[in-house]
Amino acid sequence: MNRIKDLREEKNLTQIELSDIVGIDRTTISRLEKGERIPTLDHLERLSKFFDCSFDYILGKSNDRKEKVQIVEISNNGINKLQMEFLKKIDDLNVKDMEQVFDYIDFIKSKKG
């Protein structure tokens, strides 16, 4: 469940107005509201700050608006620089594009076998 539309409507805002306030493109807000796109960490941070609620509440994983999620830094032992760059590049892809990336990764891995 995604509560972005409900939160926006509670404040009597249009998608364009919310876009201007939080600095997220209007088409992205529309796609987030429809569930056509997965919110990035940046999106969640901006929306959470503006609506004064937790990431989990925005995503519909909690009914507690104020429940805070602690973001933990990943140690250098847990992820390398190249992996981090990969994560940054795929961060704002939609679900369909992400599936294509995974398919390509599976293709590359199958060639090694």
Contact residues for 78 (Cβ-Cβ < 8 A; gap 6+): none
The pTM for the full model equals 0.59
Tens digit of pLDDT at every position of the chain (113 positions): 579 999 999 999 999 999 999 999 999 999 999 989 989 988 998 999 999 998 888 988 888 887 644 444 555 556 677 777 887 777 777 777 878 888 888 888 888 76
Residues 30-52: pLDDT tens digits?
999 998 998 998 899 899 999 99
- pLDDT value of position 73: 53
Angle at 85 between CA 94 and CA 31, to 5 degrees: 15
Q: Taking the domain 4-59, which CATH number applies?
A: 1.10.260.40
